Amino acid sequence: MNKSSSMNTLKKVLRLIRRYRIQVFFSIFLSAVSMILQLYVPILFGEAIDHISAAGADPKYFVGILMKIVIVVLIYAFASWLMNLVNNHITYGVVEDLRKKAIRKIQDLPLSFLDQHSTGDIVGRVIADADQLSDGLLLGFSQLFSGIVTIFVTLYFMFSKSISITLMVLVMTPISFLVARFIASRSYTMFAKQSETRGKQTGLINEMIGNEKIVKAFAREDRASQRFASINKELQKYSQSAVFFSSLTNPATRAVNNVIYALVALVGSMKIMSGTLSVGGLTVLLSYANQYMKPFNDISSVVTELQNSLACAARVFELIEEEAQTPDPDRQLKADRGEIGIDHVYFSYDKKQKLIEDFSFHADPGMTVAIVGPTGSGKTTFINLLMRFYDVDEGKICIDDQDINEVSRKSLRRHYGMVLQDTWLKNASVRENIAIGRPDASDEEIIEAARRAHSYEFIRRMPEGLDTIIDDDSLSQGQKQLLCITRVMLCMPPMLILDEATSSIDTRTEVLIQQAFGKLMEGRTSFIVAHRLSTIRNADQILVMCSGKIIEQGSHEELMKKNGFYTKLYESQFAKAD
């Protein structure tokens, strides 16, 4: 199974390389030129030795042969340099293409995949694993092609000197291959486990560093260190095993090669004594025997590195080949009224554990709908379904009588303005962070939106105003949430989703924001997820959810009269204050 997996991954890598076939051909040509020139040098030395043996030292001959050697070496060096340049272009081009495919695939993957895999693991595949592949490819192109060319060229020159000695070398060659293959088959498994464990380690580091305040607040430093030590120990075990098996390859093949070299020297000496081979000829054969066996040592090293690279590449291809979200139709959503109909919807994240069952609801245009309920009741899941972050298992959701599964996701999401409890800012200017939904917005429009969202006060105090570069750590949680609200104020979408949108804002600012939202929601269908029931008393409809179902529905006054679940929730928050 491991061999099959390795071969399948290699075929996929070769398909990526196919785009660079002209450069590959050029690399092979340069490799052949450089190796032929390199291997021509021993012939010149052999001729010089035979000349000395026959005619003695001749200064003019030595100057001529020395000039030849210098010219050959210079051309060989230039060809090798150019070959390495081409190999770099191929290698990093392939890795660039692979990363592009991975990033594009991440954009097309359903959120369920991203929810089930840690951020560190996915980042590790795109960055670290792709880097490992580039290292293997670079070594492969640099040594594999050169090694193959060297083998064929040395065989040609060796046959020209002694057919019997060359045949003896050929007969011994398969032993090196068998040894290398035996060891490589065992090293791939260890490299695959090493790569997988490295992904776990990256995920843990990302989790711990990103939440270091929480770790320190709950005095979890020792536990965090223990978790890291456990994974680090596991990585050490697999890394040591992988390196151990791979390190056996080179010494084992070298031992076989030394035996072959000794046999060439022995048989060649006997031929010199019988007069069928000259001293210069034996010198050339010994040099070529060494040159011939060297590629097998190099290739064995390359195979080891390729095993590691293929194990890493397999993880990247696994990401690229994940099943994408269902294709988007070409039809665009046209929602002028904002009428939303939810008809007998069923959904669950885990098909074995039911969540939303037979959910039906109708929102008239311009209605403000509040969604309340205990944790895990399905409030955020309902929002995920409205935005089509997840697709329903059964039933349908319609906007202005258009099934959202029959329109493109982009057109659907352009009709919503969404502010979540969890904020997100990119490492860019304040202007870019606000204008994500409207990149063409003018500064005047951005400032007006900031004034309505009450974020302009702290924006204008920044060193460079809208041009100030910020990231996720440069603002308070409340300021970040105000910027997210400003985004929505700028876009002015026909429908709104507010999921605890003011949870991180002080009470005074919250009152102002609620007033701004009141103006923004006029004539717009709005969904508000709230735990603080004071923020949704004026909603047209309040949906009380529990275990994925609507158990109560109505206005605040209607629900209070029922004296049911909503009444208990409300009284639990306000009874003491009243």
Same domain, 345 and 289: no
Residues in the chain: 578
Domain boundary among 287, 320, 353: 320
Whether the predicted pLDDT of 453 surpasses 60: yes
pLDDT of residue 183: 67
Same domain? For 151 and 215 the reply is yes
Mean pLDDT score, 84-94: 86
Residue 257: band (very low, low, confident or very high) from pLDDT cuts 50, 70, 90: confident
Q: Read off the pLDDT of residues 9-30 as tens digits, 9 standing for 90 and up.
A: 878 888 888 888 888 888 888 8
315 plus 349 within the same structural domain: no
Q: Are residues 170 and 294 in the same domain?
A: yes
Task: Label residue 577 by pLDDT band (50, 70, 90).
Answer: very low
The count of domains in the chain is 2
> What average pLDDT does this structure show over 482-505?
80
- 326 in a domain, yes or no? no
Using the 3D structure, point to which of 320, 354, 381 is the last residue of a domain.
320
Helix (H/G/I), strand (E/B), else coil: 24: helix
Q: Which residues contact 239 (CB under 8 A, 6 or more apart)?
A: 194
Name the percent of the chain lying above pLDDT 90: 1
Query: Over the Cα atoms of the chain, what is R_g?
Result: 35
Long-range contacts of 81-86 (CB under 8 A, 24+ apart): 82/30, 83/27, 83/30, 83/31, 83/34, 83/142, 83/145, 83/146, 84/142, 86/23, 86/26, 86/27, 86/30
Same domain, 220 and 123: yes
**Same domain? 358 vs 418:** yes
- The answer to the question of residue 328 being in a domain is no
Using CA atoms, how far apart are residues 555 and 88, in angstroms rounded to an integer? Answer: 67
Specify whether 314 is located in the same domain as 447.
no
Whether 333 is covered by a domain: the verdict is no
Helix (H, G, I), strand (E, B) or coil at 211: coil
For 313-341, write each residue's pLDDT tens digit. Answer: 888 888 888 888 888 888 888 877 888 99
Co-location of 245 and 162 in the same domain:
yes
Residue 380 domain flag: yes
Residues 304 and 400 both lie in one domain? no
Q: Is the pLDDT of residue 576 over 50?
A: no
Instruction: Return the CATH number at 381.
Output: 3.40.50.300
Q: Tell me: do 31 and 121 sit in the same domain.
A: yes
Instruction: Give the pLDDT of residue 398.
Output: 92
List the domain range (segments joined by +) for residue 292: 2-320
Secondary structure (3-state) at 527: strand
1, pLDDT greater than 50:
no
Q: Are residues 33 and 175 in the same domain?
A: yes
Mean pLDDT of all residues in 365-384? 84
Which of 261, 285, 320 is the C-terminal boundary of a domain?
Answer: 320
In a domain, residue 327? The reply is no
pLDDT score at 359 = 83
Question: Which residue spans within 275-412 are E strands per DSSP?
Answer: 340-347, 356-363, 368-372, 394-399, 402-403
**Same domain membership, residue 240 and residue 127:** yes
Whether residue 430 contacts residue 466, with contact meaning beta carbons closer than 8 Å, is answered with yes
Q: What pLDDT does residue 573 have?
A: 67
Planar angle of CA 413, 479, 530, nearest 5 degrees: 55
In a domain, 330, yes or no: no
**CATH code assigned at 242:** 1.20.1560.10
112: in domain: yes
The mean pLDDT value for 450-474 works out to 85
334 domain-assigned: no
